[in-house]
């Protein structure tokens, strides 16, 4: 069943984001919050795969100029309603990241949080994230590692969708790694991201 869901990711995300509860919570990702000091105050931040907008909305509340993009029309509509209710001006787009017209050199930062891409698309899309950054822009990424298969705290169940520090080092070889490590953490991000988890943390700066 899991393989079937990942074969049609939009359907899977629509189902999750269509539930009344915010399945990944409403608070921002803890790693993003911890790394926010690296962001240019008031800068432009891109959040690909932001679902119903929890990270983008938090960044907008913190005074950043935010663009979020997600595959799920249900997630995007939910994000738009939440931003409107909060009185936040954000750009919230519905798009497939594989075919989206990626901006070039426009953002001060990219926040890539638990966005797991298949190996045939991952290097290409990660490259477009770097290309979207201005010189000296930073990319913040958190993702599950293969060790996450031993835990029940969320994430893909397919090995090929999980990341390692070495994979990220290779994908972002054109940038400087300010931080890159695999760690065990305690997740508390809604019902579908809760418990002990094995993740990779990375911060990269574009030259």
Mean pLDDT estimate for the chain = 92
Give 13's pLDDT tier (boundaries 50, 70, 90): low
Where along the chain do its domains lie? 2-205
Q: What is the pLDDT of residue 15?
A: 78
Per-residue pLDDT tens over the stretch 95-132: 999 999 999 999 999 999 999 999 999 999 999 999 99
The arithmetic mean of pLDDT across residues 162-166, rounded, is: 98
- Is residue 12 left, alpha or beta, with left meaning phi > 0 and alpha meaning psi from -120 to 50? alpha
Residues with Cβ within 8 Å of 57's Cβ and at least 6 positions away in sequence, in order, are 66, 79, 82, 83, 86, 88, 90
State the CB neighbour count (10 A cutoff) for residue 146.
15
| 30-63 per-position pLDDT tens digit | 999 999 999 999 999 999 999 999 999 999 999 9
8-state DSSP, 148: G
Section 146-172 average pLDDT? 97
For a pLDDT cut of 70, what percent of the chain falls above it? 95
Predicted confidence band of residue 25 (pLDDT cuts 50, 70, 90): low
Q: Which CATH architecture has domain 2-205?
A: 3-Layer(aba) Sandwich (3.40)
pLDDT digits (tens, 9 = 90+) for 106-116: 999 999 999 99
Backbone angles phi, psi at 128, to 5 degrees: -70, -30
């Amino acid at each position: 069943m899991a393989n079937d869901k990942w074969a049609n990711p939009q359907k899977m995300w629509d189902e999750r984001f269509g539930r009344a509860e915010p399945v990944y919570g409403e608070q921002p990702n803890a790693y993003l919050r911890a790394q926010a000091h690296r962001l240019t105050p008031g800068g432009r931040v891109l959040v690909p795969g932001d679902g119903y907008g929890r990270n983008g909305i938090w960044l907008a509340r913190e005074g950043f100029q935010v663009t979020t993009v997600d595959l799920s029309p249900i997630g995007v509509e939910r994000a738009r309603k939440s931003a409107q209710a909060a009185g936040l001006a954000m750009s919230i787009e519905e798009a497939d990241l594989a075919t989206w017209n990626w901006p070039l050199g426009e953002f001060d930062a990219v926040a890539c949080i638990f966005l797991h891409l298949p190996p045939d698309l991952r290097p290409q899309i990660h490259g477009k994230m770097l290309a979207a950054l201005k010189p000296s822009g930073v990319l913040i990424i958190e993702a599950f590692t293969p060790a996450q298969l031993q835990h029940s705290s969320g994430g893909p169940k397919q090995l090929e969708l999980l990341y390692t520090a070495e994979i990220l080092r290779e994908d972002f070889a054109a940038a400087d790694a300010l931080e890159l490590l695999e760690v065990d953490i305690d997740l508390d991000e809604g019902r579908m991201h809760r418990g002990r988890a094995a993740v990779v943390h990375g911060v990269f700066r574009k030259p």
